[in-house]
Amino acid sequence: MTLFGLTWYGPTAAANSLYPGREQRRIHASDIQIGNLREIQRPVARFELEEITSPRTAFLGKLLGLYLIAMSFTMFVRAQATVEVMKAIVQDRPLLFIAGLMGVTAGLAIVLAHNVWSGGALPIVVTLFGWASLLKGMLLLVLPPELESRIFIVGLRYEEHPNLFAAVAFLLGAYMTYSGFRAETRSVK
């Protein structure tokens, strides 16, 4: 029985795990004899407190974390070039359309495969990443380029603080990568 993340392995589960294939029976007063002591099985209680992460969450944590680390490294090394590339993308309508489609595709893939809002911080961060990617992709497809420039470059002050955005991306990527690689996974049946 599982309740609030704690699992109780009662007498039947414990006995079945100790003696597979043997039919279980209740202990009666007549069992408390010297000759039947080996048949008496004590109830075993065991609580599991460790957090188990699904393999999909661990994989997406590793993938997205390493992606963010690689992108933040590029942003640190070539900060001004990154700002210029962002400005050029916003002015190029076909490239902006492709970027929007890629954002929507990646966001939908994550949201449809991993819309998990419980189980620790990593599953929630992965889900939020998917929703943010979907929302940004939709905005890139719908908004006119002038408004996108005002929102994403001027409004967020990306031009003034590219290293701040790189640092946030690096910290988020480091957390996701670390959590993804250290997660204890259990396959879902």
Structural domain boundaries in the chain: 2-39, 55-185
What pLDDT is attached to residue 189? 53
DSSP 19: S
106 φ, ψ to 5°? -65, -45
The pTM assigned to this predicted structure is: 0.66
CA distance 15 to 37: 15
Q: Which helix (H) or strand (E) holds 125?
A: helix 121-142
Q: What is the separation of C-alpha 61 from the centre of its chain, rounded to a whole number of angstroms?
A: 5
Interhelix angle for 93-113 vs 55-77, to 10°? 150
| One pLDDT digit (tens) per residue for the chain, 189 residues | 444 444 444 444 444 444 445 444 454 455 444 554 444 455 444 434 346 788 999 999 999 999 999 999 999 999 889 888 888 888 888 998 999 999 999 999 999 999 999 888 999 999 999 999 999 999 989 988 888 878 777 777 777 888 888 999 999 999 999 999 998 776 555
Q: Which residues contact 75 (CB under 8 A, 6 or more apart)?
A: 82, 162, 163, 165, 166, 169
